[in-house]
Amino acid sequence: MRPCIVKVFVSSIFSGTLSIVVLLRGPVKRSEVNFAPVRISRGDGIHVLSGTQGELVKINPEGVLLGEVVTPFPTPIIDGVIIESEVLPNTSQIWVGIWLDREFRQSRIAALPIDMEWITGSSREDLRNAISSLNGSEIAPSNSMWNRVMDSEPMKMGKYGSSVVFATVSGVYMIDCNANEVWRGLLPRWPEISNISAYDEIVGVVEFSGGVAIWSKAGGVSVLDPSNGLEIFSRVIEFGDSVANVIFSEDGGWFVMLHEGSIATIDKIEGEHRIYRTGGPVLDAEFNGEEWRWTGWRHDGALSSTGLVVSERDNVGISIIDGNILANDGSWSKFGSYSESPAME
């Protein structure tokens, strides 16, 4: 298969000038994913891919499926993380996910051992009958080592070590890998944006060396002490746009995805930020040791000390894992290599 040549634009961080480069994209390999993918939960050597209707499948870093596609619970999954197991002797990792069903006004959190063979659970009709029946048996996600019905609507999930941290409309909680509560606290409040607090929401729960960072859609940042959940740092960052997601890298710092086709980077959480236009919303990113690479709405991009590169794509990239990009049509492609080129029409 011949590589695809794509015209892209590069802007220098320092000069602000634009030049044109050629992106040589590697051959695309089609995955066996037969559902609409929405996110990838990153693990150690094994990741979990989830779909829009609650589908789950384990994959390796190259995107190869490690087992069958299953639907443990017949509702959409809004978030998921992979943590180390400290409970089961034969299981090294656990996937913890949150299911939210707006039709039935029910949310649930459950843990699935990565090393277990997963199977599909109950159907949508089974769930509807169980909820409508006064004496019906409870429907739980299949393969789960534990599951809990949540008493308030969840917003975002993250982790700290082998514990799970999640935010609901009622507060922030940490539980261990066996669902035991470690602590709970109130949602962070930021006086500077209190006038829009009713419309704000938590969009990031991020582990870093300073604790657990809680990010809000309006730019609020609160750092919690992971030992007790108490706030140890707070600020509001004015991005001029709402925050969609946040990623942290020890070497790359903070990477903030904004709604209207921009990104922001911050070296330290108390530091200044820089904003870069990307031409479309960014959906996922990773730092490879030298530069930030990302994918998103009909484009890919990279940001290093030498400049910003943005290239067009004909679909939507939803996740990037070790340089492999998963698109919304289920196809995989390798993040392209870049070479300088004379200007093209």
| Predicted local distance difference test score (pLDDT) of residue 74 | 96
| Predicted local distance difference test score (pLDDT) of residue 345 | 28
Burial class (CB in 10 A: 0-12, 13-18, 19+), 220: buried
294 to each of 49, 208, 247, 285, 311, how far by Cα in Å? 18, 20, 11, 4, 11
| Predicted local distance difference test score (pLDDT) of residue 197 | 79
Q: Which residues of the chain have pLDDT under 50?
A: 1-30, 337-345
| Predicted local distance difference test score (pLDDT) of residue 36 | 94
Tokens of 39: 């996110």
b vs e for 85-103, b when ≥16 Cβ sit within 10 Å of the residue's Cβ? beeeeebebbbbbbbbbee
CA 24/CA 318 separation, integer angstroms: 20
| Predicted local distance difference test score (pLDDT) of residue 89 | 60
| Predicted local distance difference test score (pLDDT) of residue 32 | 61
Contact between 25 and 4 (Cβ < 8 Å)? yes
* For the chain, domain boundaries: 32-150
